[in-house]
A and B are shown apart, each in its own frame.
Chain A
C-alpha cells in the first residue's frame, strides 16, 4: 500500500460521493423541469413521482454517507493545502451537507403535507411521520426551492475548488475522489 492509496478517500466514500452528486444534479434538473410542464404533458404526473422516489433514495444515500463520515475520518489534507483553502473547504462541505439535508426534509414535508404517504417507485410507501405546521406545503415549498438554488451555488464553489486544485495547483485533491 503506497502513500497515495492511503490518502485517497475510501472506496465507499468515493462511490457514495459520486452517486449523490449524480442524484443531486438529477433531482435539481428534474425539479426545475417538472414545474414547467404543461398539464397535458405525459410527464406531468410521472416527473413529480420520480422526483419524490429519487429523493427518498437520496435520503438513504445521505444517511449512509453521514454515518460513514462520522466513523471513518476523511483523508488528511495535502501539505500544499493552505489554511484558508482548508477553512473554505470545510465551510463549503458542511454547507453542502446541510443544504442537502434541508432540501430532503422540506421535500418530504411538501409531499406529506396532506397526510398521505410518499409512494416510492409505486412499490412501497414512506409513511407520514409529522404534520409540522399550518400551510406546510407553502412554507416547506419556499425553503425547498431557495435552498436548492443556494445549494447549487455551493456546488459551483465546490466544483470550482476541485478544478482549481486539479488544473491550477496541479495537486491530487480531485484525484483522491476519483
Chain B
C-alpha cells in the first residue's frame, strides 16, 4: 500500500514537473491536417518536382523562455508519398528509392535546438530514412501562436532542410542536378 502511494505520488510529481519545467507540449494537428511535409527535387536542373508525404504524426515541446529546451519528433509513413503521378509514386515507393515495404517509417527526433532570434531556430536532430540515420539541421521559424476559435491554443512553424539522397543510401541516378532533396515542413501544433 505504502509503495503504491509512493509510486502514485511520484507519478503525479513527475507529471507536474514535466508540465512545469519542460515547456508546453504540442501535438501536430494532423487530424484537422493543418500541417504538411513537402519534398522537392530539381528535375533535370530545369524545374522542380514537388510531392508530399500525406500521412505523418508528431509532437513538439516549446519553451518560450528557454527555446533550447524545446524539442520535436515527427514520424512519417513513407508509403503515403504523393507526387500526383501514380506511376512515379509507385517507383518512388519501390526499392529504387524509398523501399517503403522494408522501411515503412521515416523518423525525425531533435537533439538540440539553437535559437537564432526573431522566432527562428536551428533544430538539430536525427533523421532516419531508408534505414539510415543521419544528423540534419532544420531551419525553423515560428509563424504565429495564439488562441483558436474553438477553445484551444495553437502554435505554428515552418522548417526547411536539404538532404543528399546519397547520404541516405538512395543511389538511383536522376542526374547531376538532382542529388539533393529539399524538405519543407509546415506544422501547426495544438497545445495539450
Contacts and interface: CB of A to CB of B under 8 A. Distances in A.
B86 A39 contact: no
A114 interface: yes
B166 interface: no
Contacts of A106: none
Contacts, number: 30
B68 to A, nearest CB: 41
A131 to B, nearest CB: 10
A111 B93 contact: no
B87 A138 contact: no
Contacts of B86: 110-114, 136-137
Given A114-B84, A114-B85, A135-B79, A141 B90 contact: yes
A176 to B, nearest CB: 41
Chain B interface size band reads: 10 to 19
A60 to B, nearest CB: 22
Nearest to B91: A35
B36 to A, nearest CB: 19
Contacts of B84: 114
Contacts of B174: 39
B175 A39 contact: yes
B90 to A, nearest CB: 4
Contacts of A112: 86
Interface of B: 79, 84-87, 89-90, 93, 172-175
| Interface pairs A-B: 9 shortest CB-CB | A113-B86, A137-B86, A114-B86, A137-B90, A141-B90, A39-B174, A114-B85, A138-B90, A39-B173
19 contacts: A38-B173, A39-B174, A39-B175, A40-B173, A40-B175, A110-B86, A111-B86, A112-B86, A113-B86, A114-B85, A114-B86, A135-B79, A136-B86, A137-B86, A137-B87, A137-B89, A138-B79, A138-B90, A138-B93
Interface of A: 38-40, 48, 110-114, 135-138, 141
